[in-house]
Amino acid sequence: MTTKTPRTIEKVYIVANPRGIPAGIPVFRQMVGGELRGWYEGDTYDGPSSDEPLRRGFLEVKGG
Amino acid sequence: MAKSSGVVDHYFHHGTKISGDVNALNSIATPVNLLPITAIDSTTEERIAGLASGALAFSCWFNDALSQPILDQLPSTDVCLLYSRGAAIGNPCYALTAKQTNFDPTRGADGSWIFAVDCQGNNTAGEWGILLTAGQVTVASSAATAPTGVVAAAQTTAGGVGFLQYQARDSGTPTFLIEDSADTTDGDDGTWGTLLTFAGTGGASPFGERKTVTGTVEKGVRAATPTGTYSNAVFAIGFRRGDTTDRESLA
C-alpha cells in the first residue's frame, strides 16, 4: 500500500486592476532593496510585503 | 507653512514656466455668483450659490525668447494655468482652465514695455490645491526616486483633481501619474497605488492638463516618477483633494 503525501499548494498573488489603470501603467509600486519597483495587471507579485496590496484589492490570491 | 509673503513665486502657462517674465499677478479669482431666493416669510435675505468661475490676470515683460511666442498665440482652445506660492512640496497652488483673452502692450513714458494678459475660466472654477513637486522639476528617467508625498490625517472619499504642467524632455515619452498610499508613514515608504493617469504624454510641445479622479483618495498623495522610456522630463504637478462640499461631486 502506498501512502500519498499531501501536496502543498503555494499561494500565488496575481496583480489585479481594481481602479481600471490603463495598460502599461503600474497598478502599484513599492520600494524593493532601495529601488522603486512597479507591478502591472496580471503580474505575479514577488515583492516584500503583500498585506497592503491585498487589503487594497491590488492582488488576487491564486492557489493555496 | 506659516505667515508668508508672495516672494519667489512661480507661474506656469499651459506647460511653460514663465515666472521670469511675469511682472505681477494682478488678479487671481474664483468668483461665485449668488442667487437671491428670499421668500415672503423670511426676515433676511436668503441666497444660494450659483455659477462659479475663475480668472487670472497678469502683466508680463516682453521676451521673445520665452513668453512672447506663447502668449501672442491667443489660442481659441483652452489654456491650463498654474500659480504656485513658492516651490516646496505641499505649498499652495492655484489652477485654472481658461481662455486667454488678450496680450496687450503698454509702452510707458519711462521706456517700459509691459503686456497685460487676462484669462477667464472655461467650464471649471479656479481651484486651490497643493504642489506635489518642488515647483518645476526635472526627472532623469523612470528609475528616479519619486518626490516625497504629502500625508494628510486620513483618507477622503470625494475624489480629487490633478494639475499637470509639462514643459519639455530630452527624449522619449514620459507618462505622468499621481499615486496614493494608505500605509505610508513619511511620504516615501509604503505601498503606492496609481490614483490618476494624465492623458497627455510628454513630447515636443509643452501642455497643461486638468484631470479628475473619483472615489477614495488615501491619506498619502504624491507625484509619481513618470513611467515610460524618456530622459529628463521637465514638469510640475499640483493636486486638490476633493471635499464633500464641492460643487462638482467627485465622490
Domain boundaries, chain B: 10-39+46-127, 131-241
Compare CB distances from A56 to B143, B175, B193 and report the shortest one's residue. B193
pLDDT 10s digits, B41-53: 999 999 999 999 9
What is the reported pLDDT for A64?
Answer: 61
Closest to B173 measured CA to CA, from B211, B136, B199: B199
CB-based contacts of B170, cutoff 8 Å, min separation 6: B230, B231, B232
| pLDDT surpasses 70 at B175 | yes
Compare CB distances from A52 to B143, B183, B225 and report the shortest one's residue. B183
pLDDT band at B54 (very low <50, low <70, confident <90, very high): very high
Tell me if B192 and A29 make a contact (CB, 8 A cut-off).
Answer: yes
Q: Are B115 and B62 in contact (CB under 8 A)?
A: yes
Tell me if B194 and A30 make a contact (CB, 8 A cut-off).
Answer: no
Tell me if B191 and A27 make a contact (CB, 8 A cut-off).
Answer: no
| pLDDT surpasses 70 at A2 | no
The set of cell numbers assigned to A41 is 495587471
| pLDDT surpasses 70 at B81 | yes
| pLDDT surpasses 90 at A8 | no
Q: Is A23 near chain B, with CB under 8 Å?
A: no
Percent composition of chain B: helix, strand, coil (DSSP 3-state, to 5): 5, 50, 50
What is the reported pLDDT for B130?
Answer: 98
Tell me if A31 and B227 make a contact (CB, 8 A cut-off).
Answer: no
Compare CB distances from B192 to A21, A24, A28 and report the shortest one's residue. A28
Closest to A44 measured CA to CA, from A10, A18, A21: A10
| pLDDT surpasses 70 at B201 | yes
Rounded Cα distance, B244 and B251, in Å: 8
Rounded Cα distance, B234 and B90, in Å: 19
Q: What angle do CA B198, B204, B210 make, to 5 degrees?
A: 25
Q: Are B1 and B9 in contact (CB under 8 A)?
A: no
- CATH number (3.40.30, 1.20.120, 2.40.30, 1.10.3470) of B10-39+46-127 reads 2.40.30
Q: What angle do CA B104, B127, B123 make, to 5 degrees?
A: 70
pLDDT 10s digits, B138-150: 999 999 999 999 9
Q: Which B positions 81-120 lie with beta carbon below 8 A of chain A?
A: none
Mean pLDDT of chain B: 97
Terminal-to-terminal C-alpha distance of chain A = 28
What is the reported pLDDT for A4?
Answer: 73
Average of pLDDT values for B19-39? 97
pLDDT 10s digits, B88-136: 999 999 999 999 999 999 999 999 999 999 999 999 999 999 999 999 9
A55 interaction partners in chain B (CB closer than 8 Å): 182
Average of pLDDT values for B157-167? 98
The set of cell numbers assigned to A21 is 489603470
What is the reported pLDDT for B216?
Answer: 97
Tell me if B182 and A56 make a contact (CB, 8 A cut-off).
Answer: yes
What is the reported pLDDT for B191?
Answer: 97
Interface-testing mutation among A36, A37, A45, A58, with chain B (most B C-beta atoms within 10 A): A36
What is the reported pLDDT for A1?
Answer: 62
Single-letter code of the amino acid located at B200: G
What is the reported pLDDT for A10?
Answer: 78
CB-based contacts of A25, cutoff 8 Å, min separation 6: A40, B175, B177, B194, B197, B227
- CATH number (1.10.132, 2.60.120, 2.40.30, 1.10.287) of B131-241 reads 2.60.120
Q: Which A positions 42-61 lie with beta carbon below 8 A of chain B?
A: 49, 52-53, 55-56, 58
Terminal-to-terminal C-alpha distance of chain B = 28
pTM metric for this prediction: 0.94
Tell me if A25 and B227 make a contact (CB, 8 A cut-off).
Answer: yes
Distances (CA, A) of B119 to A52, B84, B91: 44, 17, 23
pLDDT 10s digits, A16-31: 999 999 999 999 999 9
Average of pLDDT values for B32-57? 97
More confidently predicted of A64 and B119: B119
Rounded Cα distance, B23 and B30, in Å: 21
The set of cell numbers assigned to B47 is 441666497
pLDDT band at A34 (very low <50, low <70, confident <90, very high): confident
| pLDDT surpasses 80 at B242 | yes
Minimal CA separation from A52 to chain B, in Å: 7
Rounded Cα distance, B53 and B31, in Å: 6
CB-based contacts of B49, cutoff 8 Å, min separation 6: B32, B33, B34, B35, B247
Please report the ipTM that was assigned to this predicted complex: 0.89
Q: Are B81 and B19 in contact (CB under 8 A)?
A: no
More confidently predicted of A33 and A39: A39
